[in-house]
Amino acid sequence: MGRHGILSIGGIEKTRELMNVTLGKEKADLALINATILNVYTGELLEDYSVAIKGEWIAYVGNDPEDTIGPHTHVIDATGKTIIPGLIDGHAHLVWLYSASEFLRYAMVGGTTTIITEIIEPLYTVGYNGVVDFLASISDQPIKIFGTVPAMVSISKRARGIPKEVLKKLLTRDDILGLGESYWQTVIKEPEEYLPIFKETLDSGKRLEGHSAGAKGEKLMAYIASGISSCHEPINAEEVLERLRLGMHVMIREGSIRSDLDSISRIKDSGIDLRRLILVTDGIGPEDLLRKGYMEFVVQKAIDCGFNPIHAIQMATINVAEYFFLDGIIGGIAPGKYADIVIISDLKTIKAEYVISKGRIIAREGDLLVSPRKHTSSAQNLKSVHLSRVLEPVDFSIPVTKEVSQVNVRVIEQVTGLVTKELIVSVPVIDGEIRSDVSKDILKVAAIDRRFDPGKIFVGLIRGFRLKTGAIASSTAWDTPDIIVVGENDADMAGAVNRIHALQGGIVVFANGNALAEIPLPIFGLIADMPLHALVQRIEETKRGIRDLGVPFDDPLLTIMTLTTAAIPFLRICDEGLLNLKDGRTVGLVID
């Protein structure tokens, strides 16, 4: 019966216990009394309210809790305080260098009690067992984490498309709420590949998450007609409004990929119904997580941008719960719902004094009181970087068989730290090969398969990266099972990739035959096994190392990781070649 088990979680025993407390036959375990409560269902602030909790659940909400309180009830007097539902991140990417348990240490203290995350990364790099292992790492934690089935939209033909049996198995899980983001261009271009997957998901009663960056008008409508019901990609109020009008639920993104709240917040002045607006991070990087926090930062920013605080909190609680059909168990403070509650000083200050998740006080004044469960990955997932051989500099040469002195090539032009475009350049052929030319900022970029055909390599060219010497490589490369490497010389490119192989995953800055900085990522080749603060220190060292080599981008790690994604325009690379997202064709470097 699929996810729906989640709606009856706790079952008959839960209901019996709650009824007993409510009807005065048993006493509550925990009670928050005399608070101002935000009722997200009605949008009211109600004074002098109390909440009584039994086990993981809310039994009572009202202003006369006496009968529910006994000698063993832990009573928190919240006089003068405000209580709000636990915050929900409706679209996250938890595979972001940190381990789940380290991420949770920092997410939990701020008041987030539910997360819906993409889980695509382990499926690209390891396959079904990887996803199951990742799901195990986020299950049974002090807060609730749900996933969406990876739609497997990839520029790599081999990695693309989720096998039907994997889709079916994942859709039956209670911790899976839908199909993850399906990039709109691909869906419109290849409906025959995606529509059957969409149908399977809708048949299971779950949601189709969208990704309609830049789409508008007829194309956006065609995409929506497929059953897609959300999008987290709009970057301004106009794009939000167009999507809302077409029946989408719109997620406003404020995270480490993009920070759209400022621009979108104008929508608050439009007077429209905001029930379908949702606040999300779309993933938060280790540094932001450490320094800014998580959903409490996002909600605070929404308030600071001028949203009515009640609306801002609704956007991170009930609106999300309703979108995912979860409002029966989360999203508000009412009998029968999970006791997920945050105590704050006042409605405009989203700073958790207490965080209560599933009835437990998990954090107080920024201190974690309950530790996340640490998951041990299986051996398979700790050995996921496969290469058939030690790479040699010659693996990175670009031979030209024709006897010519110049050839036209497709170069990835790095327009910003994320966006690229296709540049046609005439380059010299020297000794039968194309070489990088640091004087013109034309460097080599290579993608090496580490899963299906280990060591299979495609070498292209990139401009705008500004690396002066050495090479930078990463075993985390969005939407592919590839290692990605950009280098000024072939020897350091080979050295960087071999170092990643030795580490069984990582990001490596390599020059003159030595690793200058590195971040080991042993889990799936994607995730570090170290405390967050240590990871952040490593990241900073690595970024410094990269900047020292001349690369100017704000987050050069993100720049290199995203060279392989179909999510950001326009020219991308994988071990199969170059792919221009405008026409969706995979092509080689040299234009014949």
Quick count: other Cβ atoms within 10 Å of Cβ 225? Answer: 9
- With H, G, I as helix, E, B as strand and everything else as coil, classify residue 337: coil
**Stretch of 237-245, 354-362, 457-465, 540-548 lying at the interface with a second copy (CB under 8 A):** 237-245
Q: How far apart (Å, rounded) are the C-alpha atoms in residues 386 and 388?
A: 7
- With H, G, I as helix, E, B as strand and everything else as coil, classify residue 24: coil
Query: Contact with a second copy (CB under 8 A): which of 60, 124, 354, 396?
Result: 60
Q: Is 66 in the site for a second copy (CB under 8 A)?
A: no
Size of the chain, expressed as the number of residues it contains:
592
Q: How far apart (Å, rounded) are the C-alpha atoms in residues 172 and 3?
A: 6
Q: Is 11 in the site for a second copy (CB under 8 A)?
A: yes
Q: Is 39 in the site for a second copy (CB under 8 A)?
A: yes
Q: How far apart (Å, rounded) are the C-alpha atoms in residues 395 and 457?
A: 8
**Stretch of 61-69, 289-297, 454-462, 505-513 lying at the interface with a second copy (CB under 8 A):** 61-69
Q: Is 205 in the site for a second copy (CB under 8 A)?
A: yes
Q: Are 504 and 525 in contact (CB under 8 A)?
A: yes
Q: How far apart (Å, rounded) are the C-alpha atoms in residues 576 and 448?
A: 9
Query: Contact with a second copy (CB under 8 A): which of 76, 126, 244, 356?
Result: 244
Q: Are 420 and 572 in contact (CB under 8 A)?
A: yes
**Stretch of 5-13, 465-473, 496-504, 534-542 lying at the interface with a second copy (CB under 8 A):** 5-13
Residues 6 or more apart whose CB falls under 8 angstroms from that of 225 comprise: none
- CA torsion sign for 37, 38, 42, 47 is positive
C-alpha of 69 from chain center: 41
Q: Is 15 in the site for a second copy (CB under 8 A)?
A: yes
Q: Is 189 in the site for a second copy (CB under 8 A)?
A: no
Query: Contact with a second copy (CB under 8 A): which of 225, 269, 402, 513?
Result: 225
Q: How far apart (Å, rounded) are the C-alpha atoms in residues 433 and 391?
A: 18
Query: Contact with a second copy (CB under 8 A): which of 75, 166, 290, 334?
Result: 334
User: DSSP string of 242-283?
Assistant: HHHHTT-EEEEEBSSS-B-HHHHGGGGGG----TTEEEE-S-
Q: Please, which residue, 247 or 432, has the CB nearer to a second copy?
A: 247
Q: Is 44 in the site for a second copy (CB under 8 A)?
A: yes
Kindly report whether the peptide bond that precedes residue 570 is cis, defined as omega within 30 degrees of 0: yes
Query: Contact with a second copy (CB under 8 A): which of 101, 229, 259, 586?
Result: 229
Query: Contact with a second copy (CB under 8 A): which of 144, 173, 301, 337?
Result: 337
Q: Is 224 in the site for a second copy (CB under 8 A)?
A: yes
Least Å from the CB of residue 362 to a second copy: 23
Q: Which helix (H) or strand (E) holds 344?
A: strand 341-344
**Stretch of 12-20, 390-398, 415-423, 431-439 lying at the interface with a second copy (CB under 8 A):** 12-20
Q: Is 163 in the site for a second copy (CB under 8 A)?
A: no
Q: Is 43 in the site for a second copy (CB under 8 A)?
A: yes
Q: Are 580 and 570 in contact (CB under 8 A)?
A: yes
Q: Take residue 39 and report the two structure tokens written for it.
A: 């009722």
Q: Please, which residue, 245 or 402, has the CB nearer to a second copy?
A: 245
Least Å from the CB of residue 229 to a second copy: 6
**Stretch of 151-159, 271-279, 370-378, 582-590 lying at the interface with a second copy (CB under 8 A):** 271-279
- With H, G, I as helix, E, B as strand and everything else as coil, classify residue 174: coil
Q: Is 276 in the site for a second copy (CB under 8 A)?
A: yes
Q: Is 45 in the site for a second copy (CB under 8 A)?
A: no
Expressed in percent and rounded to 5, the helix, strand and coil fractions of the chain are: 30, 30, 40
Query: Contact with a second copy (CB under 8 A): which of 204, 265, 317, 420?
Result: 204
Q: Please, which residue, 153 or 427, has the CB nearer to a second copy?
A: 153
**298 closest CA partner among 40, 38, 89, 533:** 89
Q: Is 196 in the site for a second copy (CB under 8 A)?
A: yes
Least Å from the CB of residue 202 to a second copy: 4
Q: Is 24 in the site for a second copy (CB under 8 A)?
A: yes
User: Footprint of a second copy on this chain (CB under 8 A)?
Assistant: 1-5, 7-8, 11-12, 15-16, 18-19, 22-24, 39, 41-44, 46, 57, 59-62, 64, 67, 188, 191, 195-196, 198-199, 202-205, 217-219, 221-222, 224-227, 229, 241, 244-247, 272-273, 275-276, 314, 322, 325, 327-328, 332, 334-337
